[in-house]
Structure 1
């Protein structure tokens, strides 16, 4: 086993087996959260579906999460600005050493979202977003380290990536920058990526990307909440739902040897009181996690529209060719439950037959036929989600447009 691991390549050509250059099971076994991999021709002949001008326009939208990172080389000073940005600012930017980054571009652009099925070897709820960055020549965000998995797909132009994949690299941050930049960075790999090339990085690998020329890079980032985030939200949920009658109890109390001591018996009763909250209940834990993960770190959210259509009207429209489109910021997942399954949608939960939960979670759109294939409970859930703004009804002429 050790010999096989030592011989694993750090660079592969995926032209004949995109996007990983190997079966997904091999990638997950040998590389996922273990070691980086440079994948040449992950998307052979790739042409970016978005232009730098499109990205700049998106960065001007009020609800877009956008940043500009600039580097003043003569002083080694890093500058960070947050959007939205005025349109007239972009022509005034210098010709080099700055980067525009926009989060959640897959929620705004259907062609960017169309990349995500290529990553179906991962659970969809693990994928956070597609961040798109435009960098002028020399543009960078500095040497840094991420605590989540990321696939860096070169979409246009060329970017030089340097990484340090040695065990226990130094991870100390500069104190003179608003960004979390590394004080020291000693790369042991150096590559230039062109369109269609992709670099996979597991958490904790120091890396530094610099634009060789004006370029676009797509970052497919994973959702990795910290243990502190998970615990905080779970405990908040338990506390909010807890019965006030559940309290610390000591009906077996005996006279203490020392009235000022918190003894072992007291701690046993504390544990008993906490266990009353059923913190180890698998179904309760699963329901909480489904709600939590479908709400986690979203730049936008769905909201009910002004026009309310009755169930009969909506179903008639679907029969006449209308289509329900899922709101791009509504995340969905499902899990099996004791009775059927639970669908999670943007923090809500719906008890459904497993077949319905699976279909709704997978579908970005429903036409009349796919809607009719749901059970009555499934159609109830879709209509309820439509009323909450999680679907948008497009009439036949609008859907074609």
Structure 2
């Protein structure tokens, strides 16, 4: 799909203060942002969403609830036409993940949320619900902006939740056993409801309704720790083993001296707190694509060399970011106090020199509809390191030529 949305369109009102939002609301408390005078045009229709849900490479779910709103059921996609024809007129929701990867107009919404780093964004899930359709009372471990499209939805916000909150998973969903509504809002097209992590919420469609959910990546500390440990393990071998820190006569045959534990703590701290190790894991994890990206071409022979890429660009070919590609970079100092730049593209890390910084910033900006600017192409002609990086990114499927 290729629903265009111009750069001038905005879904956040001019009065929205980004600095104030980050200081007072982000990860702290909810905020309802009314559309005001802004008009909202859905970039995707219910029929197009259903079409996406039938594709084998797209993650989707159908959730139905009974009339009394007490029992939910869930089916995973991909679906076919018969699945939709057999549905009732009300009380169901269709959820499709990462629609920003498939629909340009949905992806364009991310430009309004550039006050949050791009590597924090996960995807935009789009849900279509018939009257009374919903996914039940629940909470998320991540921030979410709920953008109302067509129709209306009644949102109830409840209590703060955590890992000890009683959950019912019998339907395949993580639903709250005891939801306590504190606030209630009815949202209309263009309204945006921000919900911080851990806050219970429950949204019920009032007539046919579309919601765009901008979700953010928030790995748990257990995931972070295990990831960094895995990075450390990759650097170790069987020759690296425990040695006695200060061999001496034991005070008692079975005693473990304080010095042994202190030495272990120091060695483990050294293994796990190396900045480059943490940086690599974090950058690769936060840019890992939700779905695998496929390079252009059918086999390895499609890999492009820098000479071939230079020729393509000289012939007028343009470079585009692939929908769904994720980029971030880290600019610091190395041991010699020189500028050290590490670039992360779809879970792969690259060491770059300062000549590539403008390219990295351009790639990390939101949006993929426009080609890389002419200045980037001109710079690549005179700098082989930039051209090589572009070729590598093309070969791994993060960039395309057109």
Partner of 1:314: 309
Partner of 2:128: 134
The answer as to 2:43 corresponding to 1:49 is yes
The answer as to 2:349 corresponding to 1:349 is yes
Structure 2 gaps of 5+ residues are 1-9, 334-338
Task: Provide the rounded CA distance (Å) in 1 between the counterparts of 2:318 and 2:36.
Answer: 33
Partner of 1:399: none
Task: Provide the rounded CA distance (Å) in 1 between the counterparts of 2:94 and 2:292.
Answer: 20
Shift of 1:253: 1.7
Greater alpha carbon shift after TM alignment, 344-353 vs 198-207:
344-353
Say if 1:176 and 1:303 are closer, same or farther in 2 by CA, change over 3 A. same
Greater alpha carbon shift after TM alignment, 179-188 vs 235-244:
235-244
SS for the counterpart of 2:391 is helix
Say if 1:121 and 1:193 are closer, same or farther in 2 by CA, change over 3 A. same
Partner of 2:293: 301
Q: Is the 8 A contact 1:170 1:184 kept in 2?
A: no
Task: Provide the rounded CA distance (Å) in 1 between the counterparts of 2:11 and 2:230.
Answer: 46
Say if 1:269 and 1:251 are closer, same or farther in 2 by CA, change over 3 A. closer
Q: Is the 8 A contact 1:21 1:42 kept in 2?
A: no
Partner of 2:397: 389
Task: Provide the rounded CA distance (Å) in 2 between the counterparts of 1:261 and 1:43.
Answer: 74
- 1:77-116 → structure 2 map (5 Å cutoff): 77-116=71-110
Question: Of 271, 275, 278, which residue of structure 2 is paired with 1:282?
Answer: 275
Say if 1:75 and 1:140 are closer, same or farther in 2 by CA, change over 3 A. closer
Partner of 2:6: none
Matched residue count:
377
Task: Provide the rounded CA distance (Å) in 2 between the counterparts of 1:192 and 1:139.
Answer: 15
- 1:150-299 → structure 2 map (5 Å cutoff): 150-164=144-158, 171-174=165-168, 176-277=170-271, 279-295=272-288, 298-299=290-291
Task: Provide the rounded CA distance (Å) in 1 between the counterparts of 2:96 and 2:16.
Answer: 31
Shift of 1:146: 0.7
- 1:111-122 → structure 2 map (5 Å cutoff): 111-122=105-116
Task: Provide the rounded CA distance (Å) in 2 between the counterparts of 1:263 and 1:43.
Answer: 71
Considering Cα pairs closer than 8 Å and 6+ residues apart, tell me whether 1 or 2 has the greater RCO.
2
Give RMSD over aligned pairs: 2.4
Say if 1:376 and 1:164 are closer, same or farther in 2 by CA, change over 3 A. same
Say if 1:191 and 1:100 are closer, same or farther in 2 by CA, change over 3 A. same
Shift of 1:89: 1.7
| TM-score between the two structures when normalised by the length of structure 2 | 0.87
Greater alpha carbon shift after TM alignment, 150-159 vs 280-289:
280-289
Task: Provide the rounded CA distance (Å) in 2 between the counterparts of 1:237 and 1:168.
Answer: 29
Partner of 1:326: 321
SS for the counterpart of 1:113 is helix
Task: Provide the rounded CA distance (Å) in 2 between the counterparts of 1:251 and 1:204.
Answer: 45
Say if 1:267 and 1:120 are closer, same or farther in 2 by CA, change over 3 A. same
The answer as to 2:55 corresponding to 1:61 is yes
Say if 1:23 and 1:254 are closer, same or farther in 2 by CA, change over 3 A. same
Task: Provide the rounded CA distance (Å) in 1 between the counterparts of 2:228 and 2:245.
Answer: 29
Shift of 1:360: 3.2
Partner of 1:371: 377
Task: Provide the rounded CA distance (Å) in 1 between the counterparts of 2:237 and 2:296.
Answer: 33
Task: Provide the rounded CA distance (Å) in 2 between the counterparts of 1:246 and 1:147.
Answer: 38
Question: Of 338, 360, 365, which residue of structure 1 is paired with 2:363?
Answer: 360
Per-residue CA shift, 1:119-172, capped at 9, x if unaligned?
A: 011101111000000001110000001110000000111111010257999932
Say if 1:251 and 1:171 are closer, same or farther in 2 by CA, change over 3 A. closer
Structure 1 gaps of 5+ residues are 1-15, 395-401
Shift of 1:244: 4.2
Task: Provide the rounded CA distance (Å) in 2 between the counterparts of 1:226 and 1:53.
Answer: 36
Per-residue CA shift, 1:32-68, capped at 9, x if unaligned?
A: 1111001100781011010000000000010101001
Per-residue CA shift, 1:70-112, capped at 9, x if unaligned?
A: 1123583211100000123212211111100011000111111
Task: Provide the rounded CA distance (Å) in 2 between the counterparts of 1:390 and 1:191.
Answer: 40
Q: Is the 8 A contact 1:341 1:357 kept in 2?
A: no
SS for the counterpart of 2:199 is coil
SS for the counterpart of 1:95 is coil
Q: Is the 8 A contact 1:335 1:341 kept in 2?
A: yes
SS for the counterpart of 1:256 is coil
